[in-house]
Amino acid sequence: MEMLSATALIYENKRTFEMLKRHESEGILGVQLTSKTADEAGKATAILNKLNFDTIDLNMGCPVTKVCRNGGGSAIMKDPQRVFETVKACVNATDKMLSVKIRLGWDKQTVTVYEVIDAAQKAGAKWITIHGRLRNDDYSVPVNLEMMAEAKKKVEIPIIGNGNVFSKRDGIAMQEATNVDGLMVSRGALGNPMVFREIKTGCSKVTLDEWRQAVIDHLDWQRLEYGDSGAGAVCMRKHMLWYLKGWPGGKKVREQVVHAESLTAARELIEEFSENLLKQGIVRRLPLQSDSLEGRFHWDPKWEMDRKLDRGVGALEDEKSISS
């Protein structure tokens, strides 16, 4: 699930508990948590332990400014002792599998990945996911496979690799370079849920029929959950833009999608677009090319959104405000 605030859970924030809803079709589901203090993390984990989830993940890698400013996310990595205390408090509060998600460190002067994974393992974490960048790195900085490989050697528990996995080729390259036990895909799945099949089977071809069905299903599920218009429709626009990547003639539809006032209207645009592609004899999506693990992607769905809206990385005054 998306990351939850320990503070919000403790104070029984209505919106936070609404986010905890689990769909009947979900087989194995984990919940993710970030906190200001180890004590808060333990109390929130005790609450989650009573709910219908299979695993609990502690987020110590989120780079978003408002999260770090409050002492959560990547800010936790500045203090390996706090990492130990946080993981320990949570392990003591649950009988569920507990994992940790981290980065390599805060900045070039605060690279703490080795101390952090040691602390997490000693405190009882069952596995660790490592995103191979520092908090203040943007996506133009290559994933540091060498440090991930060294981290893998230093602990006995499984290490999951994360960062710039957009295809089976990317996944193989990361595993061969680092010997990680598994992969986490995040940005690579936006607008391209077929990436998981590709990684498992090697089949990278996406047909028009399966793409159309995936988009229509997503739109229908969004409407069932949030209604046909309003915030749910606005939120869906970015997903539609990502879905349209790789299809000839998508620019015009993208311009229309960002002004769609309802999910029904967006659905009609996709249906019409699919019919036009079929009439032109276009039945397969073009490859979503990337530069693999070596730097910036030709296709990266969150590049601009994260850089300008979410992360706040690169704003000097912002960095100063949360560096202490």
Q: Indicate which residues carry an active-site annotation.
A: 62
| Residue 219, token pair as written in the block | 């739109």
CA distance 41 to 7: 8
Q: CB count, 10 Å around CB of 243?
A: 27
For residue 111, give the nearest of 86, 141, 147 by alpha carbon: 147
